[in-house]
Amino acid sequence: MEDPKIPYRYLGNSGLKVSAICLGTMTFGQDGSRPGCDEASSHALLDRFILELGGNFIDTSDVYQFGVSESIIGRWMEKHPSLRSKIILATKVWGPMDKNDVNARGLSRHHIITEVEQSLSRLRTDYIDLYQIHCWDTGTPLEETLGALNTLVQTGKVHYIGVSNVTGWQFQKIIDLSRAMGLTKIVSNQAQYNLLCRSTEWELLEVCKIEGVAMLPWSPLKGGLLTGKYKRGESPSSDSNSRLAWVEKDKATRANQASPSLSDYADNEQYWELIEAMKTIATVHDATVSQVAIAWLLAQPTVSSVVIGARTVEQLDENIGSATLTLSKEELETLNAKSRVPPPYPYEMVTRLQRGREH
């Protein structure tokens, strides 16, 4: 890891540096519910990302295949103990980990304290670099959640705290209450953000700007919709192992924000115009449409690292290529225009009335 091929960036206003590409591991482990990687393939991805390309940022969650993803990472870590201090390991807590235990979910002190020990055991490490709440929890007082997370930092089991999948007002309340209580500050927000999900900019990105928090986009390719591999009127092959094909096989129960449906965009003219613009830009740079999508994210304010998922080394290498792809101002403006979604009230009105008031 002496000569990284992936540039490093600070994680928000913290002193921690992470690779501009973060290896997301939701694909690690095969439970039959969706396309994934077996352990050998997962370890090959970690070898390539960390040992050969110089990446240092890995993201997982306790709920990914009910701990299997964390366990696969832990067994790889055990084979490379000297690398532990060089790797920034992130995981999350919230999801249901025992269907027969009503307390094995959410953000109560009980679940957080219990589950961090399980994550540490599966990851075969003494500490977690970035511990993130995986969603807001309506059932638990925020003071209880933040107090529990602060305890983990004080005991050294966690080094930094982040959030994921929260609304704008929830995000700001978390930050404000942490500050008022004198607790560990929030350093990152992992949220869906891509050229087909621009609503993240309306509040979440603005809070990140104001508070110095890192934005960590997940689903940069919108589940495959931003790869440019599909043509108008074409459906993913029924025997394909892609996520889009998996969704289409049972769209009624599988389609959601994390797993979108290609057929939902079949008649969306703006989508197809965006893809054509991305193809044109990719040709200029001798790049791929996927690389253009990720490079656009890396050019956005407060983005410290983009969380990518891969099932093969080839997919990983393609995504890594975006880290050194620089788009021109004109190209960025073209992508912004082609993907822009008219903001609803009050965002449109507030933004319009602020013109000329910027510092």
Catalytic residue, chosen from 8, 64, 230, 271, is 64
Number of residues that make up the chain:
359
For residue 277, give the nearest of 232, 341, 234, 331 by alpha carbon: 331
CA distance 255 to 248: 8
Q: Which DSSP category does 62 fall into?
A: T
Distant-in-sequence, close-in-space partners of 226: CB < 8 Å, separation ≥ 6: 194, 195, 196, 220, 275, 278, 289, 290, 293
Give residue 36's identity as a one-letter amino acid code: G
Neighbours of 176 (CB within 10 A): 11
User: Nearest-5° angle of CA 266, CA 271, CA 272?
Assistant: 75
- The H or E element spanning position 88 is strand 88-93
CB environment 222-244: b (16+ within 10 A), e (fewer): bbbbbbbebeeeeebeeeeebbb
Give residue 352's identity as a one-letter amino acid code: R
For residue 109, give the nearest of 152, 167, 67 by alpha carbon: 152
Neighbours of 96 (CB within 10 A): 14
**Residue 175, token pair as written in the block:** 């930050």
- 158 to 8, 26, 77, 270, 298: CA distances (angstroms): 21, 21, 17, 43, 27
* 3-state secondary structure (DSSP) of residue 189: strand
Contact by Cβ (8 Å): 131, 160 = yes
Known catalytic residue at 64: yes
Catalytic residues: 64
